[in-house]
Amino acid sequence: MSLLYEKMNNLETDVLILGGGPAGTWAAITAAALGVKVILADKGYCGTSGATAAAGTNVWYVEPDPDKREAAIEKREKLGGFLTERFWMNKALDQTYINMHNLAAWGYPFTTDHEGKPYRGGLQGPDYMKLMRKLVHKAGVKILDHSPALELLSDSEGVCGAIGINKKTELPWRIKAKAIIIATGGCAFLSKTLGCNVLTGDGYLMAAEAGAELSGMEFSNAYAFSPIFSSMTKTAFYAWASFYRADGTRIEDFGGQTDRSIVAKTLMNERVYARIDQVTEEMKQWMYKAQPNFFTPFIRKGIDPFTQKFEITLRYEGTVRGTGGIRIVDETCATSVPGLYVAGDAATRELICGSFTGGGSHNATWAMSSGTWAGEAAAKFSQHSKLHKETEVNRLASTPISLNFEKKENTSIGELITAIQKEVLPLNLNWFRREDKLKKSLTNLEKIWSEIKNKDDYPLSQIVRAREIAAMTATARWMYHSALERKETRGMHRREDAPYTNPDQQYRILSGGLDNIWVKPDFTPFPLSL
């Protein structure tokens, strides 16, 4: 028995939620309201961790007017490569309308528009998540901060708990649960040196180990504009920017806006600069109010982004702004594994976003709506289930982690991260995809996966990082295998060797497996259970 499990903090609950962002907190509040016991475990501090907590975000909020709803849905269908489902889009819009009004009733300080009416189309992340943590506490949910999950547990009937560790106390925990909701973030492959959260797809790995499938992992090559001196990847304001080469000449634009692919091609060979110079004084004031944190890096550098050029790059955001994720099999956000539900970035967003999405907006809508559905379904599932017998419980991790308290730091951890990033971050590999390049990267990623599989002994300080590296590698392999399967260009998935959209490939692509990755088309209509 590993030392990890000799001194275990053992807990029991009806519903266990992994992830404390918008999706996880909505799930917790909803489940607790149905009278079940709920525990929420967050890898950070619930209320401040994750992408939403640090910034303002738009919300896909459309009043229940038939014409407005139809216009909003039609626009998204085209942008999403016609892979969306109208049932889910209407369902998400209905739920978001309810949730936003609930937030107002609970005390969220909504601003007013020019007519003095409450504006429901956006949220300030710090205020939003501070309120959500307060509501989770009020609902009687037990919150485990700084407590990332490492493995799921299962028996012959489905999932039955999870194992994790508290990073502050360095004490492991094990929670037996009747139902589990994975609501952790996606996979960004970013380095901590950038000063941003490292979202590593660990929820994907845990779900796949339990036997769940993934969907849409080819739609995972999202890049965002960012100042070269910052990790700030809020991109909305770049719609009013002009882009320049180092010699001062403006990069070609189309219809008044510079095509992002043109910027990407330019960045592969030279530096690129931007200036947000297509705005009025009134717009500037609105921007400062809407996303104040966007301007913080510029203030620190003494740069006025409206009048001065600043060097930019495209930072890879992976599945965080991608649309793929864990496949859901019905309108409750259930997976194919009994007792396992998913929400937010962990779940595929193809059903409302198709093959393309950006930051906030539809993502924020999906987080609060899917969190609500998963919380309700998991609570109802738990009311008809029993805690599983200890003798029947199995560990699921493909890379079971054991600890060696005497072992020194493993320097290869950093080397492995660099090796993975080398295959997924470059624009010429992942933005501009091609069969030969994808296959070459996969060959290297398979070697990394094999090396990880043969390492099962880590010092306590690196146990979480070790699992994250396994998740990053697995996610990259699902991404590239799916990208090879989709032999066309659709949404954010771009194939240089197949530059056109093929109407015969208007279907989702499933993937899964650990040592042996598999992919296949998914022609299943939704909703399955209606």
Q: β-strands 325-326, 214-215: how paired? A: antiparallel
Query: Whole-structure pTM over 0.85, yes or no?
Result: yes
Question: Rounded to an integer, what distance in angstroms lies between the CA atom of residue 344 and that of residue 373?
Answer: 11
Mean pLDDT, range 229-246, rounded to an integer:
90
- What pLDDT sits at residue 528? 47
Which class in CATH covers the domain with range 402-500? mainly alpha
- The DSSP output letter for 175 is E
Residue with tokens 């001194």: 7
Residues listed for the chain: 530
The correct CATH number of 3-220+319-395 out of 3.50.50.60, 3.40.50.620, 1.10.390.10, 3.40.50.2300 is 3.50.50.60
The correct CATH number of 230-317 out of 3.90.180.10, 3.30.360.10, 3.40.50.10610, 3.90.700.10 is 3.90.700.10
Highest mean pLDDT among 192-196, 202-206, 359-363: 202-206
Lowest mean pLDDT among 11-15, 88-92, 393-397: 393-397
Residue 2 has pLDDT above 50, yes or no: no
Question: Rounded to an integer, what distance in angstroms lies between the CA atom of residue 18 and that of residue 176?
Answer: 13
* Residues in contact with 383: Cβ distance below 8 Å, sequence separation at least 6, in sequence order: 14, 34, 36
**What phi and psi, each to the nearest 5 degrees, are found at residue 516?**
-120, 105
9 pLDDT band, cuts 50/70/90, is confident
- What pLDDT sits at residue 201? 67
Residue 319 contacts residue 158 (beta carbons within 8 Å): no
- What pLDDT sits at residue 432? 94
Residue 411 has pLDDT above 70, yes or no: no
- What pLDDT sits at residue 399? 65
Query: How far is residue 33 from each of residues 93, 384, 479, measured CA to CA in Å?
Result: 22, 17, 37
- What pLDDT sits at residue 469? 87
Q: What is the pLDDT of residues 303-357, one digit of tens each?
A: 999 999 999 999 998 888 889 999 999 999 999 999 999 999 999 999 999 998 8
Domain map of the chain by residue range? Answer: 3-220+319-395, 230-317, 402-500
Query: How far is residue 12 from each of residues 9, 160, 162, 276, measured CA to CA in Å?
Result: 10, 10, 10, 53
Residue 390 has pLDDT above 90, yes or no: no
Q: What is the pLDDT of residues 75-111, one digit of tens each?
A: 999 889 999 999 999 999 999 999 999 999 999 999 8
Question: Rounded to an integer, what distance in angstroms lies between the CA atom of residue 135 and that of residue 341?
Answer: 22
Residue 238 contacts residue 305 (beta carbons within 8 Å): no
Mean pLDDT, range 7-30, rounded to an integer:
93
Lowest mean pLDDT among 28-42, 87-101, 186-200, 455-469: 186-200
Residue 319 contacts residue 217 (beta carbons within 8 Å): yes
